[in-house]
Amino acid sequence: MLDIKFLRENPDIVKKNIENKFQMDKLPLVDEVIDLDQKKRDAQQEADNLRANRNKISKEIGALMAQGKKEEAEEVKKKVAESASRLAELEKLEKELDEKIMNIMLIIPNIIDPSVPIGKDDSENVEIKKYGDPVVPEFEVPYHTEIMEKFNGIDLDSAGKVAGNGFYYLMGDVARLHSAILAYARDFMIDRGFTYCIPPFMIRSNVVTGVMSFAEMDAMMYKIEGEDLYLIGTSEHSMIGKFIDTIVPEEKLPQTLTSYSPCFRKEKGAHGIEERGVYRIHQFEKQEMIVVCKPEESPMWFEKLWQNTVDLFRSLDIPVRTIECCSGDLADLKVKSFDVEAWSPRQKKYFEVGSCSNLGDAQARRLKIRVKGEDGNKYFAHTLNNTVVAPPRMLIAFLENNLREDGSVAIPEVLRPYMGGKEEIR
């Protein structure tokens, strides 16, 4: 969420940013919120004048009563009553205007970083760099569920009966591989200096609206009926929420956390053939990383975060590339974002396995996450997040890239301690 003062003083910058994100329908909101803000400030000024005048009149009443001028004092009291009535109207108006302004500010997009490429949608995202040589084996690579079924490692039919489409049972060595990847990712991030955390898997609505846009919430979140609770779609929401309404001493920054959680998503929209199986599902597990830092340090942390994911995938011999999201593909709170994509030998192309985002002070402003500097001044922190690994998609990349012609799957050396020493699964 933008600072109302910034919007008031820089409406052209805000409008140009909206145009760069191809959200032309939001352009009138800038003038609308400026008009509402002026009305609110006018109401505040009138209310302040009334309060000051009331204090002055109250002293006059006391003086008149002391002089025995009761009738004159009563007349002045009538003015106080009229003033009180008007003050009540103004306070109600301020509250209404505040609510209208907040609702609009929540949907005006954050100012994107100047380095972000301008583009309408994900088709105009820009490849940054490739890591590792993508290989297409001479033998045919089956669809990932077929690979898993050869190991009796997945049961979609039973899951469909129990929970419906978009759920699965993982079994045997495939389930163990899933857990091994998560455990390895956890230790990988701990070794990089991050503090391990298991967060709440449900969050309240004020946290939801603090960390994401309304459009994202509607498309992703499951609401717990009858309670002010939502199942998390990703653990960064719960992790950033940890700092709600806090003032962090500057010397305690950065806060670097890595978290494990299950995630739950509606996943609205049409699903193509490449999104069947365990590619796009309603429930999965994930290792995440988040950073809360000083504003001037967020670009540096952004570079570190996506590099962590690249390094983890490369340690498992999986070729990846980084993609910069263009302006039209950025969620409204994001300043800058990279996707990490893994190579799929079967599809002969890359597919998304993680996303790294710098949100500037947007989440901190909504959640009131402030930093107290050495000089005593307070300012909003910057927040960042990135996927370490989400095993359902990682599992696809892992199985395809480590599959042998005889149907066995090689286990990279770094993962063997988490697989009981196994060098392969058959």
| Cβ-proximal residues to 7 (8 Å cutoff; 6+ apart), any chain | 14, 30, 33, 34, 105, 108
Q: Which of 343, 417, 424, 386 is nearest to 179 (CA)?
A: 417
pLDDT of residue 270: 43
Question: Starting at the edge strand that comes first in sequence, how are the strands of the sheet with 369-372 ordered?
Answer: 246-249, 369-372, 378-380
Query: Buried (b) or exposed (e) across 74-86, using 16+ Cβ within 10 A?
Result: eebeeeeeebeee
d(CA 120, CA 330): 10
SS3 18: helix
Residue pair 126/324 in contact (Cβ under 8 Å)? The answer is: yes
Count other Cβ atoms within 10 Å, centred on residue 187: 15
* CA-wise closest residue to 371 among 424, 312, 294: 294
The pLDDT assigned to 259 comes to: 97
Distance of alpha carbon 217 from its chain centroid, rounded? 10
CB 301 within 8 A of CB 193: no
230-231/382-389 β-pairing: unpaired
Q: How many CB atoms lie within 10 A of CB 62?
A: 11
For the chain, 426 residues long, give each residue's pLDDT as a single digit of tens.
899 999 999 999 999 999 999 999 999 999 999 999 999 999 999 988 888 776 676 666 666 666 666 667 666 666 767 677 888 889 999 999 999 999 999 999 999 999 999 999 999 999 999 999 999 999 999 999 999 999 999 999 999 999 988 899 999 999 999 999 999 999 999 999 999 999 999 999 999 989 987 677 777 899 999 999 999 999 999 999 999 999 999 999 999 999 999 999 987 654 554 556 788 889 999 999 999 999 999 999 999 999 999 999 999 999 999 999 999 999 999 999 999 999 999 999 999 999 999 999 999 999 999 999 999 999 999 999 999 999 888 999 999 999 999 999 999 999 999 999 999 999
Q: Which helix (H) or strand (E) holds 277?
A: none
In this predicted structure, what is the pLDDT of residue 219? 78
Contact 108, 29 (CB under 8 A): yes
Q: How far apart are CA 348 and CA 154, in angstroms?
A: 24
Q: pTM (2 decimals)?
A: 0.89
Q: Tell me what pLDDT residue 273 has.
A: 46
Q: Which domains does the chain have, with CATH numbers?
A: 4-105 (1.10.287.40), 122-425 (3.30.930.10)
Q: How far apart are CA 420 and CA 423, in angstroms?
A: 9
Query: Hey, is 83 helix, strand or coil?
Result: helix
Mapping DSSP to helix (H, G, I), strand (E, B) and coil, where does residue 209 land?
helix
Residues 195/314, Cβ–Cβ less than 8 Å? no
Q: How many residues in the chain?
A: 426
The first and second tokens of residue 349, run together, are 């192309």
How far, in Å, CA of 347 to CA of 60, rounded?
Answer: 85
